[in-house]
Amino acid sequence: MASSPVLILASASPRRADLLARVGISFIRRPVAVAEDVLPGERGPDAALRLARAKARSARDDADPEDAPLLACDTLVCCGGAVFGKPSDRTEARAMLRALSGRWHEVVTGIVLARPTGEIAADSVVTRVRFARLEPWEIDRYVDGGEPLGKAGAYAIQGAGAWFVERVEGSVTNVIGLPVERLRAMLLTAGHPGPSLRGPGGPGQSPASERNFS
């Protein structure tokens, strides 16, 4: 059994769940439905933090005062003045990948730690990523494989999308969707002990693929 307190993860993201499981944080999921639209002229870090706070507020509405702290995040990709969320379809995914091809972009995650009674800590974390110049057939093949759908910026660095990445400056877990370095600092500042650090394969723990998070 993990020694850390349980977190409530206000997200249905399997990537965030996997990152928490890998460091040994026990948690339950409480997915929320929040419109993830970026406002006209809104900067990426501001939008990501606003959306993460909206998710946290939504999760708090159904929380009991005695519930564990909840964690909410939102990840966006910024490139050349544009802010990309998740592509709505394969056509939009192709357009996003063409925009990222051969260029630096920023991946920004808004992260909020809160109790049912109020916010504990909030921040936005930025990582710079450079893509190789992509061939049109590479984009088509990647999009046709289905991975870009449901991913901010239309790629997954922990998946086949790693093939396109030339360089990363900053947190890799941030690019995946949860900057665990920042979460660690938030939990320590809030006085919570760290995770078990046993990882998903440690003694007494089941692999993440077999664990029941509900």
Which residues sit opposite 165 in a β-bridge? 131
Q: How many domains does the chain have?
A: 1
Percent above pLDDT 90 for the chain = 67
* The predicted structure's pLDDT at residue 63: 64
Which residues are tagged catalytic? 74
Strand ranges in 11-170 using DSSP code E only, listed in sequence order:
27-29, 70-79, 82-84, 104-115, 118-131, 165-169
Q: Is residue 158 included in any domain, yes or no? A: yes
Asked if the structure places residue 211 within a domain, the reply is no
| Tens-digit pLDDT profile for residues 157-175 | 999 999 999 999 999 999 9
Write the pLDDT tens digit of every residue in 22-68: 988 889 898 888 888 899 999 999 999 999 999 999 888 776 666 78
- Minimum mean pLDDT range among 35-39, 94-98, 100-104: 35-39
End-to-end Cα, the chain, rounded Å: 15
**Phi, psi at residue 95, to the nearest 5°?**
-65, -40
Q: Residue 201 pLDDT > 70, yes or no? A: no
Structure tokens belonging to residue 150: 């449901």
CA-to-CA distance for 210 and 56, rounded, in angstroms? 27
Q: Is the model's pLDDT at 93 over the cut of 90?
A: yes
201 is a domain residue: no
Residue 112 lies in a domain: yes
Rg (CA), the chain: 17
Structure tokens at 57: 């507020």
Nearest to 103 by CA among 165, 195, 183, 26: 165
Tell me whether residue 65 is in a domain: yes
List the single range of 26-30, 40-44, 188-192, 194-198 with lowest mean pLDDT.
Answer: 194-198
The answer to whether residue 200 is domain-embedded is no
Domain membership flag for residue 204: no
Which is more confident, 212 or 152?
A: 152
Contact 103, 79 (CB under 8 A): yes
Give the CATH number, domain containing residue 129.
3.90.950.10
Residue 115 has pLDDT above 90, yes or no: no
Residue in the block written with tokens 């893509």: 131
Model pLDDT, residue 112 = 96
User: Distance of CA 5 to CAs 120, 151, 197, 205, Å?
Assistant: 15, 29, 13, 16
Residue 48's closest CA among 187, 181, 180, 179? 179
**pLDDT over 70 at 184, yes or no:** yes
Which residue range forms the structural domain that includes residue 96? Answer: 7-189
Residue 96 lies inside a defined structural domain of this protein: yes
